[in-house]
Amino acid sequence: MYLYDSATHKKEEFRTHTPGRVEMYTCGPTVYHFAHIGNLRSYIMEDVLEKFLRYEGYEVDRVMNITDVGHLASDADTGEDKMLKGAKRENKSVMDIAKFYTDAFFDDCAKLNIKTPDVVQPATGLIDEFIRVVSVLLDKGYAYVAGGNVYFDTSKMERYYVFNDHDEEDLAVGVREGVEEDRNKRNRNDFVLWFTKSKFEDQALKWDSPWGVGYPGWHIECSCISMKYNGEYLDLHCGGVDNAFPHHTNEIAQSEAYLGHPWCGHWFHVHHLNTDSGKMSKSKGEFLTVSLLEEKGYDPLAYRFFCLQSHYRKGLVFSWENLDNAAGAYDKLIKRIAALTGEEGEVDETAAARFKEKFLAQVGNDLNTSMGITCLYDVLKAPVGDATKRAVLASFDRVLSLSLLEKAAALREKEAAQAKTASSSGGFTVQGEGDPAVDALVLQRAQAKKAKDFAEADRIRDELKAQGIEIADVPGGAVWKKI
């Protein structure tokens, strides 16, 4: 597999420290609010990456943190703790907020077929580990105490700006006009490892430490959680492109200072989901969540399909029209698969192996999911039996996770159930969706046509059309459906 590495700015062959095994870390959510669909685009693409690596034959150990303390509103060292902000907004405790939105996050993931990582670790569960690592950084001279807080000294790093080809304005989210300068810092880019004096008197979560009662900075948690569960050598670190600076930059600095050797072999960043007005955010415009998509009648997997049609290193523009197009294409794909027969037929293993080889090559070229979708259509068009097509589609769906065969089976069951709702009169059979009132109107239309009262037949047709009912005349009767 070839992947673009954000640290080297090149597409390179993916290699791991231990052959056949991938130590993978994903920056998890700060659980102070619902995840919006822009956040979830990153998790969808990381999910596909993990599943593709497993499909290739790797053993994958994927770890994710849950940030329930220490993430300040600026993403750097200024502003209010996001968790405290959420607790104030809803008049609940921080831990109640954390549990509610953690559960909500994983509910959304389930709806989007995103696999839960092997390890999920809330930050509040490893406070002793944070303190231990900060103590080592102090002992090694990479950190200092000032104004009651513990800071990392970035001047001690030979190279601090690792992702320096990214747009400064896009990534430097912690450097904003009007941010009060922290005079305790020796260098502009130094960052807090441990706060011993809260920014706010009512900071909810505090712990004892060698430097006083306080709480960890945001950046230290990911390094410590990864090193605890992934070990000293991390193969693959994932996150949204907005995490590259300062969060991932600071992770590299503190991790390599602590370990004394290079830490992460590959950095994978997913670009923004934008709206027509710019980057998606919880603080502006319509708050787009999975629940909102469902309320508007969309299958969450149509949104997953929408994301897979684009490359993860390109900004993706969301609009309802674009989602409608994706949902329509997804529905048509399911209908084509539902039309396949030969469930018990023989699979052409030679043809299936050729399809898989092409899929591995296409998607393995920097996780090109749009080509993975194209591979689905190539299978459907191929001159092979339906049993082979079904087997190959099921194989590809281990990576794409669009529930292709499950959705197709449900559609066939629905159509079979609708066929059973047929009603008849005088040899004329109506097949519909189980609404006797509509069946009666369709029969009345047929009777009007038989009596050559075409004006009445047209009136009934127009009445049904106004109700969103489409009629198709067939030999011996009619079939109706809601449109």
Instruction: State how far the Cα of 93 lies from the Cα of 22, in Å rounded to an integer.
Output: 37
Q: What is the DSSP string of 195-235?
A: ESS-SSTT-S--B--TT-SBEE-HHHHHHHHHHHHH-S-BS
| Residue-level pLDDT at 179 | 42
Full-model pTM: 0.85
Question: HSE (CB half, 13 Å, CA atoms) of 79?
Answer: 19
Beta carbons within 10 angstroms of residue 446's beta carbon: 21
> In which order are the strands placed within the sheet that holds 278-279?
278-279, 273-275, 316-317
Task: Please count the residues of the chain.
Answer: 483
Segments of the chain scoring below 70 in pLDDT: 75-76, 165-181, 198-202, 278-286, 342, 417-425
Return the number of other C-beta atoms located less than 10 Å from residue 432's C-beta: 21
Give CA–CA dist 8/162, Å, rounded: 8
Complete domains list, the chain, with CATH = 2-270 (3.40.50.620), 297-415 (1.20.120.1910), 421-482 (no CATH)
Sign of CA dihedral 360, 366, 367, 371: negative
Reported as a single tens digit per residue, the pLDDT across 66-109 is 999 888 777 667 777 788 888 888 888 889 999 999 999 999 99
The CA distances from residue 2 to 10, 207, 240, 360, 407, in Å, are 10, 44, 19, 11, 32
Alpha-carbon separation of residue 62 from 15, 39, 49, 235, 373 (angstroms): 16, 18, 11, 10, 25
Any bridge partners for residue 4, and if so which?
Answer: 11
Strand partners, 275: 278
Cis peptide before 19 (omega within 30 of 0): no
CB 237 within 8 A of CB 266: yes
Residue 62 is inside which H or E element, if any? Answer: strand 59-66
Helix axes 369-381, 320-338, angle to 10 degrees: 30
